[in-house]
């Protein structure tokens, strides 16, 4: 697997990581624990050694899964996790309850270290910007954890450019994690130029549009009742029907390149900047292997121009989050 560096940091990771959330939470029932462990270890065998989790996934169960799977392979891998929500131990994540107070960040770090069965977190992201806590205090708390040797790198998730700049002055930000794909290109306007200027890496989540860009979801697809996509405006049947035009475009390119739609979508992202590292999630080995194959798909400058221009002419229908979650991004 080819390697990439996240911005100007010395954090080197494979060109494609593995988002682990869906194994425990978000896209239907959790996978069987042993199956999850097998998949994570299979990823390491194939050179995917960058894993993304968070305390709120489950809550807690996803970190436990990742920790158990990677404990024997700890020296070979980079583990990223996140703090900043206040998970409810009884009823799953409370997406409205943000808590990035410095004392809570330190408590969250101790919990994550324990569940991940490790003595250091490679990359510790603030999961969402907490409007009640100055970002300087957040960065300062992570800086202390770095000085104590409990964390190696500081990251932000879904933060706006002013917040990124303020945080970076206190403790250099290694990576920003936000949604970015052919069907959500908003980061191109301000976020990507800011990251480039400051030397910060970019870790796009949902690089396959929460599965939509694979071409395996249609207006008739029924999601499990626990699937987060049921409440996402972009995934209403009528919006899926309207957004099929983008999938068809990607599919046409895939046929020309003898690749799959997922591979084209990931190859497009990888070609945008050398410091972009997407983290597609999956629960299936054949999908993991398909995603890894994107690294070898060659898109010429002409291909990229053609695909980017054609995609930008298709107006994607529907917001990417329900209203209450949309308020938490870009702060």
The model's pLDDT over 176-223, given as tens digits with 9 standing for 90+, comes to 999 999 999 999 999 999 999 999 999 999 999 999 999 999 999 999
Look up 321 and say whether it is catalytic: no
Identify the DSSP state of 23. G
Full strand arrangement of the beta sheet holding 78-83: 18-19, 50-52, 78-83, 121-126, 151-157, 173-179, 201-205
Q: Which of 215, 228, 157 is nearest to 187 (CA)?
A: 157
Q: Based on the structure, what is the number of domains in the chain?
A: 1
Q: Indicate whether 128 belongs to any domain.
A: yes
Q: Is 255 among the domain residues?
A: no
Distance CA 6, CA 276 (A): 7
Instruction: Give tens-digit pLDDT for 98-125.
Output: 999 999 999 999 999 999 999 999 999 9
- Mean pLDDT score of the chain, rounded to an integer? 96
Under DSSP, is residue 275 helix (H, G, I), strand (E, B) or coil? Answer: coil
User: Catalytic pick from 27, 57, 125, 180?
Assistant: 57
DSSP 3-state of 173: strand
Residues 6+ apart with CB under 8 A from 132: 98
- pLDDT tens readout for residues 28-87: 999 999 999 999 999 999 999 999 999 999 889 999 999 999 999 999 999 999 999 986
Q: Which sign, positive or negative, has the C-alpha torsion 141, 146, 149, 155?
A: positive
| Banded model confidence at residue 95, pLDDT cuts 50, 70, 90 | low
Assess if residue 224 is contained within a domain: no
Share of the chain above pLDDT 90, in %: 94
Does residue 316 form part of some domain? no
pLDDT of the residue at 302: 97
Asked if the structure places residue 236 within a domain, the reply is no
Q: Which domain does 125 fall in, by range?
A: 3-209+268-298
With CA atoms as reference, report the closest residue to 202 among 6, 3, 58, 4.
Answer: 6
Answer whether residue 308 is part of any domain.
no
CATH number of the domain enclosing 200: 3.20.20.100
| Residue 266 CB partners (closer than 8 Å, separation 6+) | 16, 207, 208, 278, 280, 291, 294, 297
How high is the pLDDT of residue 97? 86
pLDDT at 89 over 90: no
Q: How many CB atoms lie within 10 A of CB 255?
A: 11
Whether 258 is in a domain gets the answer no
Q: How far is 183 from 100, CA to CA, in rounded Å?
A: 30
**324 falls in which pLDDT band (50, 70, 90)?**
confident
Q: Enumerate residues 6+ apart whose C-beta is below 8 A from 250.
A: 182, 213, 215, 261, 264, 265, 307, 311
DSSP character for 190? T
Q: What three-state secondary structure class fits 231?
A: helix
Q: Report, as an integer, the average pLDDT of 238-257.
A: 96
Q: Would residue 307 count as lying in a domain?
A: no
């Amino acid at each position: 697997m080819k390697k990439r560096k996240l911005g100007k940091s010395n954090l080197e990771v494979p060109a494609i990581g593995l988002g682990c959330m869906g194994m425990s939470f978000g896209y239907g029932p959790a996978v069987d624990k042993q199956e999850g462990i097998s998949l994570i270890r299979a990823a390491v065998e194939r050179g995917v050694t960058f894993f993304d989790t968070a305390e709120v996934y489950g809550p807690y169960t996803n970190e436990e899964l990742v920790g158990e799977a990677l404990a024997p392979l700890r020296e070979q891998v980079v583990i990223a996790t996140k703090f900043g929500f206040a998970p409810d131990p009884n009823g799953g994540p409370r997406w409205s309850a943000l808590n990035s107070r410095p004392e809570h960040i330190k408590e969250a770090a101790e919990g994550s270290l324990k569940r991940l069965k490790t003595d250091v977190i490679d990359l510790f992201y603030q999961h969402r910007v907490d409007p009640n806590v100055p970002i300087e205090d957040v960065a300062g708390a992570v800086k202390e954890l770095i000085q104590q040797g409990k964390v190696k790198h500081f990251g932000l998730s879904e933060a706006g450019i002013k917040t990124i700049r303020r945080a970076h002055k206190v403790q250099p930000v290694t990576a920003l994690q936000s949604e970015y794909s052919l069907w959500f290109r908003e980061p191109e306007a301000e976020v990507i130029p800011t990251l480039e200027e400051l030397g910060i890496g970019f870790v796009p989540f949902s690089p396959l549009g929460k599965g939509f860009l694979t071409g395996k979801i249609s207006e008739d697809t029924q999601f499990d009742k626990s699937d987060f996509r049921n409440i996402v405006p972009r995934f209403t049947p009528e919006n899926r029907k309207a957004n099929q035009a983008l999938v068809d475009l990607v599919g046409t390119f895939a046929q020309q390149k003898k690749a799959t739609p997922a591979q084209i979508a990931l190859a497009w992202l990888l070609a945008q900047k050398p410091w972009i590292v997407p983290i597609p999630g999956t629960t299936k080995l054949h999908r993991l292997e398909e995603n890894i194959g994107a690294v070898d798909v060659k898109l010429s400058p002409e291909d990229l121009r053609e695909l980017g221009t054609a995609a930008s002419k298709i107006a994607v229908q529907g917001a990417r989050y329900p209203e209450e979650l949309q308020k938490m991004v870009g702060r």
